[in-house]
Amino acid sequence: MSNDHTTAGRSDSDALDPDERERIARRYRDESPVESTENRGVYRRIRDQILSDKKAIFGATMVLLFVFTAMFAPMIAPYEQDETFGINQEPNSYSEGDYTGNGEIDRVWHVLGTDSFGHDLFTRIVFGARISLLVALTTVAFAFTVGTAIGLIAGYYGGLIDELLMRYVDFQWAFPSIILAAGLIAFLGGLGVTNVVIAIGVAFIDDFARLVRGEVLSIREEEYVLAARAIGTSDRRIMTKEILPNAVAPIIVQMTLMIPLAIIAEAALSFLGLGVKPTTPTWGLLLAEGRQYINQAWWISVFPGLAIMVVVLAFNMFGDSLRDAFDVKQSEVSEK
Amino acid sequence: MSETDMTDVGVEGTDRNSNEDPLLQADGLKKYFDQSDGMLDRLLGPASKVKAVDGVDFELGRQETVAVVGESGCGKSTLGKTLLNLHDPTGGEVRLDGTEIGGLSDKEMLPYRKEIQMIFQDPLASLNPRQTVGDIIKAPLEVHGIGEDDAERTERVRSLLDRVGLSPDYLERYPHQFSGGQQQRIGIARALALEPRVLIADEPVSALDVSVQAQILNLLNTFQEEFGLSILFITHDLSVVRYIADRVLVMYLGEIVEAAPVDELFENPKHPYTQSLLSSVPRIDPKERSDRITLRGVVPSPMDPPSGCRFHTRCPVVIPPDEWPGTEEAFRFAFRFRNQLLSGEIDVENIETHLEATTGRVTTESVADEVIADAYPGSPENLPGEKRDAIESAALALAKGNDEEAASIVTEAFPSPCERRMPTEHRHASDHAVRCHRLDPSAPGEPRRIGADDA
Amino acid sequence: MTMLQIENLRTEFETPRGTVTAVNGVDLHIDNGEIVGLVGESGSGKSVLAQSVMRLVEDPGEITADELLFKGEPLLEKSEAEMTTIRGNEISMVFQDPMNSLNPTITVGEQIAETVRLHQDIGESISLPAEMKRKIIGASKASESWRRAIEMLESVQIPHPESRATDYPHEFSGGMRQRAMIAIALSCEPDLLIADEPTTALDVTIQAQILEELHSILEVFDTSILLITHDLAVVAETCDRVNVMYAGEMVERATTRELFSNPQHPYTQALLASTPQVETAVEELEPIPGTVPEPIDIPYACHFAPRCPEAKEECFEVDPAFRRVGSEDHEAACIRRDPVDGEVIENE
């Protein structure tokens, strides 16, 4: 048989023994640059992706600026949020009056003008960023938690559980979000940040539930899930340790894309007078107030509108880029 | 399961421990898959079922390697997963060391998972891409509460990695950073973490290169000796079977058709299916090549498997009925015609278009002639008179569109004992069991190795 | 006559991690009416070699060669338009997974007919509107291209080709799909057929049929075949000559009979020793230790040296040139083998 030939050569006396061979091979291998780049992690990939995309840099910068503004609103805003000055002042104008209460006439600059109550518009927008961010984050967090749980359970167990949960999600999906939210506010009774968060959050559950269920349905069929079952892993552990980590990328992308929608929804509810209390500075309320004066004082609604637009755009660009970064197939990174 | 009684196939095969019970035993094991999805389908009609595993009996002895071979779709992979309760069995029993484990819920099954583990065909797919090698191998230890604390478990993982031939420093790496062979080693380390007694290996080397394949096979051999593992080795690769197995089960359409010790099966295959399977394997050494037995037709759908012997639709040595007046060869041609007709492979409409295009005129007679020319191998001239008439009248009926009449004519004229009853198990030697009518002493015809006359 | 003559072919990919030399100075020739085998494990570069011949290497692949002659004409100097004519007309390819290579929405017959129309002048319009119409309402069953499609299906032994031609790929079994792929590849009567692992996804019984099919193609169509596979036994049964590749380099070539009865290169020997065989019950397989190196800037001379049982220090430093090691054209690239006639073939 042909197998004999192998041993024939091996008896050669001057051949290296395996250890020696390995030693020489390693000497060569150490010079090769192969190992160094192998450990490129997912975070570095995302960073590289964002840095290589101008839109993503813009998006990320604006998002950071937005978050920064919200966090340090009292320091950034020139005046107190409830301070009133001359009403309907144009942008880049001055109010004159005794605003500090010390008997002297102050001259106060309004970079973006004032609204119909005499609030400084720039101050209101800066403080409004707070509410918008707060509402957006808590809303998305709420929708994410409930939606992911529904999607995970429906997708993993399938059958009757899936039917029931998804029929509910279908029902919610078929119902216009804003009307659902309005209905919920009415049901919860009264205005306020908490009610707005619950109302929008509930309206967003279906997006997460569908997304996660779809992911789970495909991940569930992966062989590593079967392997986990074969070693006796409990359902809960499979869902949290095997399935969820592999669905995390699309969920994060979905979250970044839902934040602007939440901002818009909050603005819309406030605009309709169903949002937070009318005295709270939010972009939606400012927009709504400005509507009545659009002929005399365009700036009252235009600037909050611009703020909404820029932030929404920024989140979208950031989210899109994040999706691209996650979209790189595992194999493309690992192979060769 | 009286008619599929192969319960004690190869008990003596486990000569090492012939007094003890087999470690793993399946008895009439069945797994059907429901094809209808959703409630609507279930309401609309009777569920169609894929009979992936249909009455399988086998035993796996201590420290024995039993290979299950068969072509894709024969149910071998489903068999492995059903044994592990990864699929709920539809019927039958699975006993692990005498304890019934078939159909246990995940919770009830948990303690037995320590005893019976599995490795998979695609090593990368079976490893979670978001977990490190350490996490992957540690998971079974955590699930079963083995080891005092995390540090001890990590230490175990390191020694497991070492045992499967990987550096313990690879703990923090991710699966995609390894080559296919190394990934399979990780899979083996995970399966062996629980020190099981039975390992079900589902095509563990099919995705690997030959040189690496040999590494993994040798690794499995070593572990078998060290741990006294029993291995159920599922594969389509007969060369690998020859190397690794002690005993072989050949599967066709959800059933085991032949079971024998490995050398016996390769040197003296009895079932026509095993023979043709073996003859199809390409050989490196020209001296070892034999005449190839080509199988005709496609593997029938497991949703509606053929009656009697499931292989009868493709069998090159199908048995003529007692009263058959002609030669065996003539019967097989006629039988092939019959099978094509019954399976609806003959497309009259197309024959009509074809005739129209070539000759310009279509009559029932010309279509009938064409049907015979198309589906009957050779010419029906050498058939006995009345049988030739049967072929012709069936073709005519088909040409007229009377499919049912045509079907009943051929079924009546060309019956075979093979389609009428299930072949009972025949024991060629004490540990060599075959299910084929040819080898049944009560059936007519001498058992013979099928030759090239049909190829 | 020589159908394909390759000398010193290199295919390189620039990547952030270095230059991947998938094919590293390879020689290969195929004569008229020959089935030539190209054996190698994954990562050997055998598929990239085939793509290089077709000039189908994806970006950023760079192909260079001292000679890449197809029927005496240099392929590397052809324009992209000329290559398009050659692909499919004169060289065609069959891939491992037939399901991925067939269009699931078009009938098998129409897919073959389309190839016929595109590559052979049979007087049927191939303008976009005409093709669109065919895709939507189906090709005329009386057309010349359809008739040829049925002939092709018949010639690859598909039963009832008339009715089968109107089926969609998913209605075919795995073996029939591969037959259909071969029919498409043959429909323009190529001079060279490159079959890249054509039977790897198939069952043994079907594999046997397809391999037989390749033989009859050789006789009926007078087509030369390059059969690429990892399976030594498939090559042993099918090919006239065999080339063995390892990590981008050719290591041994000979007639099939000579190679398997007298393997010389340590890699070929080790590969044979690690292959389980169906006819003999071996006690112990001898695996090749280690893994195939990644083809990125391999710093040592003989790529097999780190895994080779016979390696000595020189093997890491001196490029192994081909030398005659047996009868006829049996050559191996290994400095541990003394040339039969004292002559070392210079080409690297």
pLDDT at B378: 73
Same domain, C199 and C249: yes
Q: Output b/e per residue, C162-181; b: 16+ Cβ within 10 A.
A: bbbbbbebeebebbbbbbbb
The CA distances from residue B406 to B134, B368, C164, in Å, are 65, 11, 22
Tell me: pLDDT of A50 over 90: no
- Stated pTM of the model: 0.83
Peptide bond connecting C60 to the previous residue in cis, omega within 30 degrees of 0: yes
pLDDT at C175: 80
* CB contacts, 8 Å: B266 with chain C: 278-279, 281
Distance from CA of C95 to the nearest CA of B (A): 17
Q: C-alpha angle with apex B392: B387 to B395, nearest 5 degrees?
A: 125
The Cα–Cα gap between A76 and B402 comes to 89
Domains of chain B: 11-37+48-280 (3.40.50.300), 328-415 (no CATH)
| Per-residue pLDDT reduced to its tens digit, A116-135 | 888 888 998 999 888 888 88
| Per-residue pLDDT reduced to its tens digit, A313-332 | 898 888 888 877 776 443 33
* Pairwise CB contact (< 8 Å): B72 & C203: yes
A→B contacts (Cβ < 8 Å), by residue, are 1-2, 38-39, 163, 222-224, 226-235, 237, 241-242, 245-246, 248, 330-331, 333-334
* CB contacts, 8 Å: A2 with chain C: 260-261, 263, 269, 272
| B283 touching chain C per CB within 8 A | yes
Band (pLDDT 50/70/90 cuts) for residue A1 is very low
The Cα–Cα gap between A324 and A249 comes to 10
The Cα–Cα gap between B430 and B432 comes to 6
| B285 touching chain C per CB within 8 A | yes
The Cα–Cα gap between A298 and C289 comes to 78
pLDDT at C146: 87
A→C contacts (Cβ < 8 Å), by residue, are 1-3, 5-6, 9-10, 12, 14-16, 18, 21-22, 24-25, 28-29, 31-34, 37, 336
C26, C276 contact by CB (below 8 A): no
DSSP H or E segment with residue C20: strand C18-31
| C99 touching chain B per CB within 8 A | no
A335 C-beta neighbours (distance < 10 Å), count: 9
pLDDT at A296: 84
Kindly identify which residue of chain A lies nearest to residue B187, measuring between CA atoms: A227
The Cα–Cα gap between A333 and C97 comes to 24
* Pairwise CB contact (< 8 Å): C209 & B262: no
Band (pLDDT 50/70/90 cuts) for residue B442 is low
A308, A133 contact by CB (below 8 A): no
Structure tokens at A138: 């808590």
SS3 for A102? coil
The whole-number average pLDDT for the span A24-53 is 62
- The values of phi and psi at residue B243, to 5°, are -75, -45
* Pairwise CB contact (< 8 Å): C288 & B214: yes
Better pLDDT: B44 or A89: A89
* CB contacts, 8 Å: B341 with chain C: none
The whole-angstrom distance between residue A110's C-alpha and the CA centroid of its chain comes to 33
Tell me: pLDDT of B387 over 70: yes
Q: Determine the residue among A6, A157, A223 to mutate to test chain B binding: the one whose Cβ has the most chain B Cβ atoms within 10 Å.
A: A223
pLDDT at B14: 41
Distance from CA of A305 to the nearest CA of C (A): 45
| Per-residue pLDDT reduced to its tens digit, B76-124 | 999 999 999 999 999 999 999 989 998 888 889 999 999 999 999 888 8
Q: C-alpha angle with apex A29: A23 to A30, nearest 5 degrees?
A: 95
**Chains adjacent to A (≥3 CB pairs closer than 8 angstroms):** B, C
Same domain, C7 and C141: no
* CB contacts, 8 Å: A163 with chain B: 39
C107, C177 contact by CB (below 8 A): no
* Pairwise CB contact (< 8 Å): B86 & A232: no
- Tally of domains in chain C: 2
Distance from CA of C49 to the nearest CA of A (A): 17
| C41 touching chain A per CB within 8 A | no
| C283 touching chain B per CB within 8 A | no
One-letter amino acid for residue C212 of the chain: E
pLDDT at B46: 61
Structure tokens at C226: 């390059």
The bridge status of strand B49-60 relative to strand B198-202 is: unpaired
Distance from CA of B91 to the nearest CA of C (A): 29
Same domain, C115 and C235: no
pLDDT at B350: 73
Distance from CA of B296 to the nearest CA of C (A): 10
| Per-residue pLDDT reduced to its tens digit, A57-87 | 888 898 899 999 988 988 888 888 888 888 8
Tell me: pLDDT of B452 over 50: no
Distance from CA of C306 to the nearest CA of A (A): 5
* CB contacts, 8 Å: C284 with chain B: 218
pLDDT at C177: 87
* Pairwise CB contact (< 8 Å): C159 & B278: no
DSSP code string of A210-259: HHHHHHHHHHHTSHHHHHHHHTT--HHHIIIIIIHHHHHHHHHHHHHHHH
* CB contacts, 8 Å: A241 with chain B: 131, 139
| Per-residue pLDDT reduced to its tens digit, B321-354 | 888 887 888 888 888 888 888 877 777 777 777 7
Tell me: pLDDT of A231 over 70: yes
Instruction: Please list the alpha-helical segments (H only) found in chain A.
Output: 4-10, 18-31, 42-51, 54-71, 73-76, 121-157, 159-174, 177-188, 193-220, 223-230, 235-237, 244-271, 283-292, 299-327, 330-334
* CB contacts, 8 Å: B86 with chain A: 226, 229-230
CB neighbours of C150 closer than 8 A, spacing ≥ 6?
C109, C161, C162, C165
DSSP letter (8 states) at residue A197: H
Average pLDDT over all residues of chain B: 83
Closest CA to B312 of B334, B336, B328: B336
CA C139, C143, C144, C149 torsion-angle sign = positive
Of A230, A232, A242, the CB nearest to B128: A242
One-letter amino acid for residue C11 of the chain: T
Architecture of domain A43-80+126-334: Orthogonal Bundle (1.10)
Band (pLDDT 50/70/90 cuts) for residue A146 is very high
pLDDT at B7: 41
* Pairwise CB contact (< 8 Å): B283 & C141: no
The Cα–Cα gap between B69 and B84 comes to 18
The Cα–Cα gap between C116 and C231 comes to 32
Q: C-alpha angle with apex C265: C261 to C271, nearest 5 degrees?
A: 75
* CB contacts, 8 Å: C237 with chain B: 282-283, 289
First to last CA, chain C: 25
The bridge status of strand B49-60 relative to strand B65-69 is: unpaired
pLDDT at B45: 61
For tokens 């390697």, name the residue: B65
| Per-residue pLDDT reduced to its tens digit, B181-232 | 899 999 999 999 999 999 999 999 988 888 889 999 999 999 999 889 999 9
B394, B376 contact by CB (below 8 A): no
The CA distances from residue C207 to B297, C174, C178, in Å, are 14, 10, 10
The Cα–Cα gap between A30 and A36 comes to 10
First to last CA, chain B: 36
pLDDT at A7: 41
* CB contacts, 8 Å: B213 with chain C: 274, 276, 287
The alpha carbons of chain A give a radius of gyration, in whole angstroms, of 29
* CB contacts, 8 Å: B276 with chain C: 205
% of chain A with per-residue pLDDT over 90: 21
**Chains adjacent to B (≥3 CB pairs closer than 8 angstroms):** A, C
- Given a cut of 70, the residues of chain C with pLDDT beneath it are 135-142, 342-348
The whole-number average pLDDT for the span A19-37 is 61
Closest CA to C227 of C249, C256, C267, C252: C256
CATH number of the domain encompassing residue C221 = 3.40.50.300
| Per-residue pLDDT reduced to its tens digit, B9-23 | 443 444 444 456 789
The bridge status of strand B198-202 relative to strand B116-119 is: parallel
Closest CA to C278 of A3, B233, B237, B452: B237
CA B252, B258, B260, B264 torsion-angle sign = negative
* CB contacts, 8 Å: B354 with chain C: 162
Instruction: Please list the alpha-helical segments (H only) found in chain C.
Output: 46-54, 80-89, 98-101, 108-119, 128-137, 144-155, 161-164, 174-186, 204-221, 232-238, 256-261, 266-274, 313-317
Owning domain of residue C127: 105-167
The whole-number average pLDDT for the span B376-404 is 81
The Cα–Cα gap between C348 and C335 comes to 14
Same domain, C71 and C1: yes
B165, C290 contact by CB (below 8 A): no
Long-range pairs of B155-158 with CB within 8 A, sequence gap ≥ 24: B156/B193, B157/B189, B157/B193
Band (pLDDT 50/70/90 cuts) for residue B426 is confident
The Cα–Cα gap between C246 and C292 comes to 8
Tell me: pLDDT of B60 over 90: yes
A172 C-beta neighbours (distance < 10 Å), count: 17
The whole-angstrom distance between residue A228's C-alpha and the CA centroid of its chain comes to 31
The Cα–Cα gap between C274 and B216 comes to 11
pLDDT at A2: 42
Same domain, C114 and C247: no
| C301 touching chain A per CB within 8 A | no
Tell me: pLDDT of B423 over 90: no
pLDDT at C120: 75
Task: Answer yes or no: is C224 within a domain.
Answer: yes
Band (pLDDT 50/70/90 cuts) for residue A336 is very low
B124 C-beta neighbours (distance < 10 Å), count: 22
| B420 touching chain C per CB within 8 A | no
Band (pLDDT 50/70/90 cuts) for residue A236 is very high
Q: Determine the residue among C262, C310, C319, C335 to mutate to test chain A binding: the one whose Cβ has the most chain A Cβ atoms within 10 Å.
A: C310
Tell me: pLDDT of A209 over 80: yes
C257, C332 contact by CB (below 8 A): no
% of chain B with per-residue pLDDT over 90: 40
Q: What is the 3-state secondary structure (H, E, C) of chain B?
A: CCCCCCCCCCHHHCHHHCCCCCCEEEEEEEEEEECCCHHHHHHHCCCCEEEEEEEEEEEECCCCEEEEECCCCCCHHHHHHHHCCCCCCCEEEEEECCEECCCCCHHHHHHHHCCEEEECCCCCCCCCCCCCHHHHHHHHHHHCCCCCCHHHHHHHHHHHHHHCCCCHHHHHCCHHHCCHHHHHHHHHHHHHCCCCCEEEEECCCCCCCHHHHHHHHHHHHHHHHHHCCEEEEEECCHHHHHHHCCEEEEEECCEEEEEEEHHHHHHCCCCHHHHHHHHHCCCCCHHHCCCCCCCCCCCCCCCCCCCCCCCCCCCCCCCCCCCCCCCHHHHHHHHHHHHHHHCCCCCHHHHHHHHHHHCCCCCHHHHHHHHHHHHCCCCHHHCCHHHHHHHHHHHHHHHHCCHHHHHHHHHHHCCCHHHHCCCCCEEEECCEEECCHHHCCCCCCCCCCCCHHHC
Kindly identify which residue of chain B lies nearest to residue A223, measuring between CA atoms: B126
